[in-house]
């Protein structure tokens, strides 16, 4: 099909040409005396994206999923008890990883579409007077349902319970797009990947540890080898890696960090908020509902749209893909067929999103879902004009 594929899944996201060019490199000696400049610059700039001056960032050739494992095995010991909230497919898989790695997971079940409830965490921690719960696991932005939870409030709840559990946060679809404050929120392990807010191809796991997280890697006794952050601490200190790093990805990440920091993280978050609001207004104009229960928790990086019971969201996605070269995100787990998602994160502007909304409208009408062509586009256009600087 001629023209660009419209990639509007919530990851992988569009890779800017600048990043693609930066990755197009010959291989080089990763043990040269000049190589540490690249490593040290990347690791130091990453801390700015995570909102920390006290923490330390690590990059591993892997993915977001691998960073769940990295966070768990570097913070805990076999059989440790952890507390986790399940409110979507990613929190479900985070819990699954903890269970498979031998942790005892106490689960707070929440409706899919609900945000993490800090009061529920506080109540569970307050009951645990013996301090047997070693960590709290939460997903900042549930990509399944388009819900952003308040991590600052989770930390406040942990403090209010006077509990010393570590805070492990999945920020795969938030870090690099939404406001993220590792220091202020007291996050001990923050998890990210390359193919969402960082605008890169998949292939890198990125993780940032606060001071308590860094201390925990020395006392955790989980067996670990490739994901042992102690090796990274040692090698990264000199600007090297414990193995051959993925050079193309490192050069891509260097470029991505240049782009993000030139825009400024506050501006990046504001751009996502403004772009996301246009999508929300379009959905409202279509008279369709979103998966998110509390509209104040709607994500600025992804919107999960519920199709009427008579329709199949997988059919909607397939029409969009085959007929209009538009990739929309699938409903995950139990939401398959019931929900489709528009990803609005990464390298994105108003007109790209208006194109995606126009394609979604044509698709919905083709799928027999009664919306008025142009209604959502017009609502988003009005918002983008009104909110333009």
Ligand X SMILES: *Cc1c(COP(=O)(O)O)cnc(C)c1O
Q: Which is nearer to ligand X, 236 or 299 (CB)?
A: 299
Query: CB 89 → ligand X: shortest distance, Å?
Result: 9
Q: Which is nearer to ligand X, 197 or 376 (CB)?
A: 197
Q: Which is nearer to ligand X, 117 or 350 (CB)?
A: 117
Q: Which residues contact 107 (CB under 8 A, 6 or more apart)?
A: 84, 85, 86, 95
Among 63, 77, 99, 375, binds ligand X (CB under 6 A): 63
Query: CB 95 → ligand X: shortest distance, Å?
Result: 12
SS (HEC) of the chain: CCCCCEEECCCCCCCCHHHHHHHCCCCCCCCCCCHHHHHHHHHHHHHHHHCCCCCEEEEEECCHHHHHHHHHHHHCCCCCEEEEEECCHHHHHHHHHHHHCCCEEEEEECCCCCCCCHHHHHHHHHHCCCCCEEEEEEECEECCCCEECCHHHHHHHHHHCCCCCEEEEECCCCECCECCCHHHHCCCEEEEECCCCCCCCCCEEEEEECHHHHHHHHHCCCCCCCCCHHHHHHHHCCCCCCCCCCHHHHHHHHHHHHHHHHHCHHHHHHHHHHHHHHHHHHHHHCCCEECCCCHHHECCCEEEEECCCCCCHHHHHHHHHHHHCEEEECCCHHHCCCEEEEECCCCCCHHHHHHHHHHHHHHHHHCCCCCCCCHHHHHHHHHHHHCCC
Q: Which is nearer to ligand X, 63 or 387 (CB)?
A: 63
Q: Which is nearer to ligand X, 121 or 172 (CB)?
A: 172
Query: CB 87 → ligand X: shortest distance, Å?
Result: 11
Number of residues that bind ligand X (CB under 6 A): 12
Query: CB 217 → ligand X: shortest distance, Å?
Result: 21
85 contributes a contact to ligand X by CB under 6 A: no
Q: Which is nearer to ligand X, 65 or 289 (CB)?
A: 65
59 contributes a contact to ligand X by CB under 6 A: no
Among 143, 145, 177, 363, binds ligand X (CB under 6 A): 143
Among 16, 30, 65, 308, binds ligand X (CB under 6 A): 65
Site string for ligand X, 309-338 (x = CB under 6 A): ------------------------------
Instruction: Give the footprint of ligand X on residues 150-189 (CB under 6 A).
Output: 170, 172-173
Question: What's the token pair of residue 59?
Answer: 């990059």
Instruction: Name the residue number minimizing CB distance to ligand X.
Output: 64
Q: Which is nearer to ligand X, 15 or 172 (CB)?
A: 172
139 contributes a contact to ligand X by CB under 6 A: yes
Query: CB 191 → ligand X: shortest distance, Å?
Result: 7
Q: Which residues contact 312 (CB under 8 A, 6 or more apart)?
A: 337, 367
Among 64, 278, 329, 346, binds ligand X (CB under 6 A): 64
Question: What's the token pair of residue 102?
Answer: 């031998």
90 contributes a contact to ligand X by CB under 6 A: yes
The upper half-sphere exposure of residue 333, i.e. CA atoms within 13 Å in the direction of its Cβ, equals 14
Site string for ligand X, 182-221 (x = CB under 6 A): -----------x--------x-------------------
Query: CB 181 → ligand X: shortest distance, Å?
Result: 18
149 contributes a contact to ligand X by CB under 6 A: no
Interface contacts to ligand X, rule CB under 6 A: 11, 63-65, 90, 139, 143, 170, 172-173, 193, 202
């Amino acid at each position: 099909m001629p023209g660009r594929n419209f990639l509007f899944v919530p990851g992988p996201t569009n890779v800017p040409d600048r990043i693609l060019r930066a990755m197009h490199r010959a291989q080089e000696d990763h043990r040269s005396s000049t190589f540490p400049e690249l490593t040290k610059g990347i690791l130091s700039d990453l801390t700015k994206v995570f909102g920390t001056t006290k923490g330390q960032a690590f990059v591993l050739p892997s993915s977001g999923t691998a960073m769940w494992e990295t966070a768990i095995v570097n913070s805990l010991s076999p059989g440790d008890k952890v507390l986790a909230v399940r409110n979507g497919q990613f929190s479900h898989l985070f819990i699954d990883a903890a269970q498979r790695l031998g942790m005892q997971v106490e689960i707070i079940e929440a409706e899919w579409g609900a945000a993490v409830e800090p009061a529920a965490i506080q109540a569970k921690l307050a009951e645990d007077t013996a301090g047997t719960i070693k960590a709290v696991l939460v997903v900042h932005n549930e990509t399944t349902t388009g819900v952003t939870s308040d991590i600052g409030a989770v930390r406040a709840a942990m403090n209010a319970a006077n509990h010393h559990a570590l805070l492990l946060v999945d920020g795969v679809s938030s870090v690099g797009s939404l406001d993220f404050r590792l220091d202020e929120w007291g996050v001990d392990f923050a998890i990210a990947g390359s193919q969402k807010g960082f605008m890169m191809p998949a292939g890198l796991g990125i993780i940032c540890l606060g001071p308590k997280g860094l201390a925990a890697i020395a006392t955790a006794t989980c067996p670990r080898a490739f994901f042992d952050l102690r090796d990274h601490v040692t090698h990264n200190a000199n600007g090297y890696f414990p193995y051959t790093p993925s050079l193309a990805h490192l050069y891509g990440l260097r470029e991505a960090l240049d782009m993000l920091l030139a825009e400024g993280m506050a501006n990046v978050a504001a751009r996502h908020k403004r772009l996301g609001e246009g999508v929300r207004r379009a959905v409202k104009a279509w008279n369709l509902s979103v998966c998110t229960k509390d509209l104040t928790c709607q994500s600025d990086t992804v919107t999960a749209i519920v199709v009427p019971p008579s329709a199949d969201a997988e059919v909607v996605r397939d029409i969009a893909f085959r007929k209009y070269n538009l990739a929309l995100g699938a409903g995950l787990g139990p939401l398959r067929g019931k929900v489709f998602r528009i990803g609005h994160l990464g390298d994105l502007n108003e007109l790209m999103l208006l194109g995606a909304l126009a394609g979604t409208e044509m698709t919905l009408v083709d799928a027999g879902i009664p919306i008025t062509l142009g209604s959502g586009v017009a609502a988003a256009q009005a918002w983008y004009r009104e909110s333009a600087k």
